[in-house]
Amino acid sequence: MKGQDILSEIASTSSGEFYTPLPKGYKAGKTKYVVVTGSVISGVGKGTISSSLCKLFQDRGLKVEPIKLEAYLNVDSGTLNPFRHGEVFVLDDGSETDLDLGTYERALDKDLRGENFVTSGKIYQRIIQKERAGKYLGRDVQFIPHVTGEIKLVLRNLAMETKADVIPIEIGGTVGDYENMFALEALRELRYEEGPENVCFINITYILEPNSLGEQKSKAAQLGIKRLLAMGIQPQVIICRSQTKLKESIREKMSLYLNLAKENVFGVHDVSNIYGLPLKLRKKGFDEAILRELNLEKKFKTNGNTALKDWTKKTSIQGKAKPVTIGIVGKYTGSNDAYISILKALEHCSFKLNRPVKAKWVDATDLEKKKLEKELKGIDGVIVPGGFGTRGIEGKIAVAKHCREKNLPYLGLCLGFQIALIEFARNVLNLKGANSTEFDPKAKEPVVCLLPEQAKIEGLGGNMRLGGRDVEVKPGTIASKLHGNAKTIRRRFRHRFECNPDYIPQFEKKGIVFSGKAPKVPIMQILEMPEHKFMMASQFHPELTSRPLNPDGLFLEFVRKSAE
């Protein structure tokens, strides 16, 4: 039976045991699904390879709509500690998501929505709401078929809303995680219902290479994928990640023991520039193998790789220019993933300027104990990123003072905007009690405070300005020039506290120019100090909308000035 026949039979079954709700007008085969799982270890590169696949599909002319399924019970990523799970990536619609959504947006150069990110918590929340509303007509609500049915409904709704040719589905975590079992079961059912020609499973595994042995070992990879086989899922394509180039004997073993042709086993070893990965995968036949499984290889052909080669060239640095060293002063400096979008935005600038950018981590907490000049030695420019809480604040204020007085380029992002205001108020306006009410609720000079529109909202994660908002840019300013003299730009926000409007006249009198503000209300969103080499800050997060071939203007000018 074909997929549409199976769905028709399920829909007409009177007992309703299947519980497979379908969007109105849905037809199997109109949208294809590619499921990406990982095994052996987490951090195996699912997001990078999935986004590369999206790029390859897009290059062939397919309409691609990726989705990430996360197993944790949080409804979104908003309350997760960056040390544990990396940065919170905010979408234009205000959704707080996993950092992999940023990887997808940068690869596809397109804005995604909350529908592109689903957690188990969100699935369970929907089911409980339906159960309380009596939507299940008195049935006992179970993991199978109700949780699996809801997961499939999310995927099919996305297919109907976007009219995508293909939906890549990245499963968070690894095969064998208990919390992933129901998502994997839902996707096994999806392939049964849609038909094998409409759903392709890819597993990204890891080939160990212990230093003590000096050779590649595939047993752990085999056992990880056998757990998928035990669940009734046969991957059609396998990616073997490794430190060094995959040996042919390992490919043969994986093919033999895991029931698939050797031509569908691909090796991907560590590379220095991930932007070149799509072209490398194309040359290996990766996307062609997937399209062959989906019966699409004849419909969507390559155009000589011209666009992909151009992309690869433009996302690499030619020659051997001297690196620009940027200090990132934060409190999550033990994890690159905590500031991944900032690192990527700096990369985008390096491509445009053809100058490598090196990030140096500076722990703001340690700055409160150590000599600041020593920690900033050799740094060409400083970024103070976003964050919450009091830890490391005084260190960041000291850094802002140092940058202002020593004419060292400074870029403040969100919290970095507020830090610049507090430092200026204390040391230029001579308001010694200047602070944010976030750090000192009884501050004598609350130059940064919680505005009334936020104070009325209750609940952690619910009282922030989130997502894309318009910013009015003041003509004739540095910010205006950097944004092509645009009168209005749209950027993404994630914060509770703002510049206190009562202090704006004092700031402006002493030289701060508020070159960006919210429309119709006195909420300041960009500040600059024109007399300084480069001292600018934004209440929004420009790193979230920076793209490989279109770096953000603030970042680009900051790196350019730092390079000088």
Annotated catalytic sites, by residue? 414, 541, 543
Cα gap 559→321, rounded to integer Å: 14
Sheet holding 445-450, edge to edge: 434-436, 445-450, 497-499
β-strand 497-499 against 445-450: which pairing, if any? antiparallel
Task: Calculate the alpha carbon distances from 286 to 120, 213, 265, 266 in Å.
Answer: 30, 30, 9, 7
The amino acid that residue 224 corresponds to is G
Task: Calculate the alpha carbon distances from 209 to 70, 84, 276 in Å.
Answer: 29, 26, 24
β-strand 488-495 against 96-97: which pairing, if any? unpaired
Dihedral angle of Cα 539, 540, 541, 542, to the nearest 10 degrees: -110
Cα gap 9→489, rounded to integer Å: 51
**Containing H/E element for 69?**
strand 67-70
β-strand 445-450 against 434-436: which pairing, if any? parallel
The amino acid that residue 342 corresponds to is I
β-strand 89-90 against 96-97: which pairing, if any? antiparallel
Do 158 and 67 meet the contact criterion of CB atoms below 8 Å apart?
yes
Cα gap 171→180, rounded to integer Å: 8
